Amino acid sequence: MSDHVPASMTPATLEKFLHAKIPLTAAMGIRVVQTGPGRLILEAPLAPNINHLGSAFGGALHTLPTLACYAALWTLLVEGGVDGHVVVKKSYANYAQPVRGTFRAVCERPPPGIAAEFLDDLRRFRKARMDLESVVEGANGKPAVEFHGSFVAIV
């Protein structure tokens, strides 16, 4: 594994990695709230991501769930002992309501069987694709943004 891969994947370690390797994450004030076997949660404050209407900028509302999915897949590579890169191939977001405060993106990590199959394909073919989803919750508990992305890992 190359020296850019953290030895362990705590929320603080992942956050430090994201801020160092993707500087936009620091500018947006993104925090890693949770990373574990079930889900990955990122959070961003409104202030650095605000638009002219006093709500979260649409680009920020697309970026946070993109990063949640990216980080979920990247940590899967790290946990699987694979030194690779993750890129987004295609994405779509549905904006259902404005966000007027701190916002969180939740990405459910793939089940163990699908994760193992993905890693096997990556080792065998040196490239693998996975579709992931993330939701940014609104103030009323309903989704404010529903994100769907197709990601590719390459070794």
Per the model's pLDDT, the better-predicted residue between 4 and 119 turns out to be 119
Predicted TM-score (pTM) of the model is 0.93
SS3 155: coil
- Crossing angle between the packed helical segments 112-125 and 58-79, to the nearest 10 degrees: 80
Q: What token pair was written down for 56?
A: 């979260």
Whole-number Å distance between alpha carbons of 132 and 109: 8
pLDDT of residue 9: 81
**Pair type for strands 31-35 and 103-108:** unpaired
pLDDT digits (tens, 9 = 90+) for 123-133: 999 999 999 99
All structural domains of the chain, each given as residue ranges with its CATH number in brackets, are 11-154 (3.10.129.10)
Whole-number Å distance between alpha carbons of 107 and 94: 15
Phi, psi of 29 (to 5 degrees): 75, 25
pLDDT digits (tens, 9 = 90+) for 134-143: 999 987 888 9
Q: Show the beta-strand stretches assigned E in 70-124.
A: 85-95, 103-108
Percentage of the chain lying above the pLDDT 70 cut: 95
pLDDT of residue 139: 78
Whole-number Å distance between alpha carbons of 37 and 51: 34
Whole-number Å distance between alpha carbons of 47 and 4: 30
pLDDT of residue 141: 81
pLDDT of residue 1: 35
> Could you tell me the pLDDT band of residue 7, with boundaries at 50, 70 and 90?
low
Whole-number Å distance between alpha carbons of 72 and 109: 6
Q: Residues 69, 147: contact at Cβ < 8 Å?
A: yes
